[in-house]
Amino acid sequence: MDFAHFTANQWAILALVLVLGWLLGMLTRSGGARWREAYEREHAAREAADARDVAARQRIAELERRDAERPIGPDTATTVGAAAAGRRDDLALIRGVGRTGEMHLNEAGILRYRQVEQMSDRQMAEYEGRLGLAPGTIAREQWREQAALLDEHRLEEHHERFP
């Protein structure tokens, strides 16, 4: 582009565009602070989330390492074999048991709903101690009744009575 052949009007338009650009830049510069603050907040939130992710990954690795070091005994082998053969019920469906409680019950040889249903008061007290539950929890949460419904495949009634 040859600037020597610009007319006076073209020079005036070019100067006007430069001045308007400068003014616009000055006006939006204060808005830039808001964007900067938003960026810094988002960046801090992201760093906090990353730190939580690292902590969670470390905890998972610790649990996996601890599980790998846990010896496989006859109870564990029985539980694994029963699950593979389909001779084990999903005890975690009983409200109050959960997956951890199911694992502890399975390790103690409780694999079926019928076994939960037939627990004696002494056995319930023993399992409450083993699972770290307050005395009377199993009776209060009606594990026997829940097990009976689940054993009879009355899932809808179970979900209605024990949400």
pLDDT attached to residue 79? 46
Angle at 117 between CA 115 and CA 123, to 5 degrees: 70
- pLDDT over threshold 70, residue 11: yes
Q: How confident is the model at residue 17 (pLDDT cuts 50, 70, 90)?
A: very high
Q: How confident is the model at residue 67 (pLDDT cuts 50, 70, 90)?
A: low
* Burial of 49: CB neighbours in 10 Å, binned 0-12, 13-18, 19+: exposed
Tokens linked to 151: 């054993």
Contacts of 108 (CB under 8 A, 6+ apart): 75, 127, 130
Cβ 158 vs Cβ 150: under 8 Å: yes
Question: Is residue 157 within 8 Å of 149, Cβ to Cβ?
Answer: yes
Using CA atoms, how far residue 13 sits from 16, 35, 43, 49, in Å, is 5, 32, 42, 51
Q: Which residue has the tokens 């699972």?
A: 131
**Contact between 147 and 102 (Cβ < 8 Å):** no
Mean pLDDT on 17-46: 83
Residue 32: per-residue pLDDT: 65
pTM above 0.95, yes or no: no
